[in-house]
Structure 1
Amino acid sequence: MTLLVALILLLAVVIAGLVWFTANTAKRVEALLPPRGQFMDIDGQRIHYTDSGGTRPAIVMIHGLGGNMLHFGYAMADKLAADYRIILIDRPGAGYSTRPDDAPANLTAQAKTLATLIRRLGLKQPLLVGHSLGGALSLAIALDHPDCAGALALLAPLTHAREDVPEPFRGLVIASPLVRKAVAWTVATPLGIRNGPKLLAEVFAPEAAPADFPMRAGGLLGLRPNAFYSTSSDLMAATETLPDYMARYKSLDIPVAMLYGRGDRILDYRGQGEAMKIVCPSLDLELVEGGHMLPMTQADRCVALVRRVAERQQQVQAA
């Protein structure tokens, strides 16, 4: 009995230590990378965004799974800001945007939230730029809220449901919200610190992850417990409503362009890009030699695609 009590006390001390370490790490990360934008309260969520306030047509940029707005701020936003009004968004629960633990994380719910933000900003059919999961979200906005999307520029987007989970994200597969919360506040942060370099290499492969990714692209923000919880929630909910959108892709009647890397090891360009081209023959699909993190590794190609689809949008609107 004495041994059992000792083991329980030891376990309690270990858990308390992990919680303290996690909270302290989150505090230090947020001191290094504080919010850079404004906040808008939407249905119990607090959405963090930046608005460059340009005079040209608006571009709304939506990041992918486990990311934040700095993924676009890293290399793309400044290249476009001279000519366009640039709105960068932290998706619900990502970056500095908050989302209640019990709020739905599926594409339909997130699309509704971002559509509300777009309307409150007074944007009329902006060009949506979506990377990875942000690509799926951009498609959902265009289909559910057509007044909030005049064209789409999709970068290595998720467009079709897949049966498996990419290897780097399998640690996020946690069905129980309670277990997800427990993991987030105990082992997720120390494991993230230990495995971070390997994870980055896998996500960026076959290209190299930039050395300044943790700070300049906000990678450190992923070490916070709320970030882990939300990323796991996003992954578990990603395919809840995706099949419904897949059935509606053929109804898209706005300019859509897509950039995909042939070496992408997270999402396959054939099952995501070429499969989309079959459904939407008018899709402007460009393939490049590269991986999944194109907004950072091939920013110039991404910017060129955005400018191309923006010109098409203006031509369509002028016709």
Structure 2
Amino acid sequence: MTIVLALLGLLLAFFLGLALYAYMWKRRAQRAVPPRGAFTRISTGRLHYLDVGQGPAIFLIHGLGGQMGNFDCGLIDDLARDHRVIAIDRPGMGWSERPLSQPCTPADTARLMFEIMDKLGIEQPLVVGHSLGGAIALSMAVQNAERLRGLALLAPLTLRGQEPSPVFDGLAIQSDVQRFLTAWTFATPAALRNGEAVIQQLYGPEEMPPNAVTQGGALLSLVPRHFYHTSRDYINSVRGLEETSRKYADLTVPVRLLYGTEDQILDPQHHGAKLVGRHPQMGLKLIHGGHMLPVTQPQVCAEFIRDASTKMRGSLTIRRASPEVYR
């Protein structure tokens, strides 16, 4: 009995030690990447957002496990020269709050994006979605195209059917209880141990810029709450996507895509060329690069987005877009 109690005590001490380690890294990450914008409240709790510049609105939606810093390595400042640019930490990410059990399919999150538009007074924006943010942007267009000027998507998730990258295996947790316990125990040391391999997949064949760690907000991925919601987003990322994709042919806003030909996370042939093959009214531009284009090639992304904004200006809704609107 004494041995059993001693073993239980050691086990408890081990997990408490892991939780303390996670807490220490949480504090370190949050000190290194403080809030850079303002706060408001929506139905999911506190929302962290950045609203800069004047002109036609551009609404930036980041991808899986990201936050507004993904756009703040030069892209926001460039676009804000002649646009109103709104970037957010999606609910649950970065400094924004979200209930632990909040529904979070792309369609669910799209509805929250409209709530944010109402809260911040965003009218007829060009919606820019990166990665999972692309699926959210497409869901917004399917749900209420009349409120959008168009979509400019960066390495977007668009269709079901691709096998997920092994880099996300650690996020494939079905139970919320297990997910919460993992977030406060093994997630932080695993992230630190596997960080280099994850970075190579996310950024390859490009290098991760040094400013991605703090200015780009990468350190916030070590916050336990951030891991928890990233895991839930991952599990729900393709739920409802098949139904949404059946409605792409009926979209009444222009859609343009930018993809890196060497993307190691989302296949540009599947999510880009295949999509445009089905819906040739959409436009696809391919460049040399990987998945994290807003971080590695902010100037190229800014040119792509600005060109889309110029061509889509004045085109609120369409019956059938002409090629020049899309391309």
> 1:166 matched to which residue of 2?
165
Alignment match, 2:323: none
CA contact (8 A) 2:124 2:316 kept: no
CA distance in structure 1 between the partners assigned to 2:312 and 2:186 by the alignment: 47
Specify the alignment match of 1:149 in structure 2.
Answer: 148
> After the TM superposition, which residues 222-301 of structure 1 pair with which residues of structure 2 at under 5 Å, given as runs?
222-301=221-300
1:34 maps to a residue whose letter is P
Equivalent residue number for residue 50 of structure 1 = 50
Shift of the alpha carbon at 1:23?
A: 1.3
The residue type equivalent to 1:153 in the other structure is A
Aligned residues: 318
1:233 counterpart letter in structure 2 = R
C-alpha contact 1:207 1:297 (8 A) present in aligned 2: yes
Q: Which residue of 1 aligns with 2:108?
A: 109
Once the two structures are overlaid, the 10-residue window that deviates more, 309-318 or 105-114, is: 309-318
Q: Hey, what's the Cα distance between the residues in 2 that align with 1:65 and 1:317? A: 29
What do the CA deviations read for 1:25-49 (whole angstroms, capped 9, x no partner)? 2122212211111222222332211
Q: CA deviation at 1:318?
A: 11
Are the equivalent residues in 2 in contact too, given 1:118–1:148 (CA < 8 A)?
no
Q: Which residue of 1 aligns with 2:32?
A: 32
Equivalent residue letter for 1:2? T
Is 1:175 equivalent to 2:174 in the alignment?
Answer: yes
CA contact (8 A) 1:49 1:89 kept: yes
More deviation, 30-39/240-249? 30-39
Aligned residue for 2:152, secondary structure, equals: strand
Please say if residues 172 and 232 of structure 1, whose CA atoms lie closer than 8 Å, have aligned partners that are also in contact.
Answer: yes
Tell me by how many angstroms 1:199 deviates: 1.0
SS of match in other structure, 1:74: coil
Structure 1 residues 74 and 144: alpha-carbon distance in aligned structure 2, compared to 1, 3 A threshold: same
Moved more, 239-248 or 225-234: 239-248
**What's the CA shift for 1:2?**
2.6
**Which residue of the partner structure matches residue 82 of structure 1?**
81
Structure 1 Cα separation of the partners of residues 231 and 185 of structure 2: 15
TM-score with structure 2 setting the length? 0.94
Is 1:22 matched with 2:22?
Answer: yes
Deviations 1:36-69 (A, max 9, x none): 11222222332211100x3310000011101110
Aligned partners of 1:238 and 1:258: how far apart in 2?
A: 19
TM-score normalised to the size of structure 1?
A: 0.96
**Alpha-carbon distance in 1 for matches of 2:259, 2:176:** 33
Residue in structure 2 matched with residue 193 of structure 1 by the alignment = 192
Contact 2:212/2:295, CA 8 A, preserved across alignment: no
Paired with 2:167 and 2:44, the residues of 1 have a C-alpha distance of 31
1:315 Cα deviation after fit: 4.4
Question: What is the distance in 2 between the residues matched to 1:222 and 1:167?
Answer: 18
d(CA) in 2 for partners of 1:258 and 1:163? 18
Amino acid at match of 2:277: I
1:261–1:289 Cα contact (<8 Å) kept: yes
Query: 1:209-263, CA deviations, whole angstroms, 9 ceiling, x for partnerless residues?
Result: 1123211201000001001000000000111111111111111121211111111
* Larger displacement relative to structure 2 (123-132 or 43-52): 43-52
Which residue of the partner structure matches residue 12 of structure 1? 12
Residue 92 of structure 2 corresponds to 93
Is the 1:124–1:147 contact (alpha carbons within 8 Å) kept by the matching residues of 2?
no
Q: Report deviation, 1:305.
A: 1.1
Which letter does structure 1 place at the counterpart of 2:281?
A: S
Deviates more, 1:278-287 or 1:170-179: 278-287
What residue is the counterpart of 1:304 in the other structure? 303
AA in 2 matched with 1:123: I
Change (3 A) 1:205 1:29: same
Q: Structure 1: 5+ residue runs without aligned partners? A: none
Would the aligned equivalents of 1:249 and 1:279 in 2 still touch at CA under 8 Å? Answer: no
* C-alpha deviation, 1:164, in angstroms: 2.4
Residues 78-132 of structure 1, C-alpha deviation per residue, up to 9 Å, x if partnerless?
1111100000011111111111001111112111111111122222210001100
C-alpha separation between the residues in 1 aligned to 2:85 and 2:294?
15
* Residues 177 and 191 of structure 1: CA distance in aligned 2, closer, same or farther (over 3 Å): same
The one-letter code matched in structure 2 to 1:109 is: D
CA contact 1:125–1:146 (8 Å) conserved in 2: no
Contact 1:260 1:287 in 2 (8 A): yes
| Deviant stretches of 4+, over 6 Å | none
Deviation at 1:74, TM superposition (A): 1.0
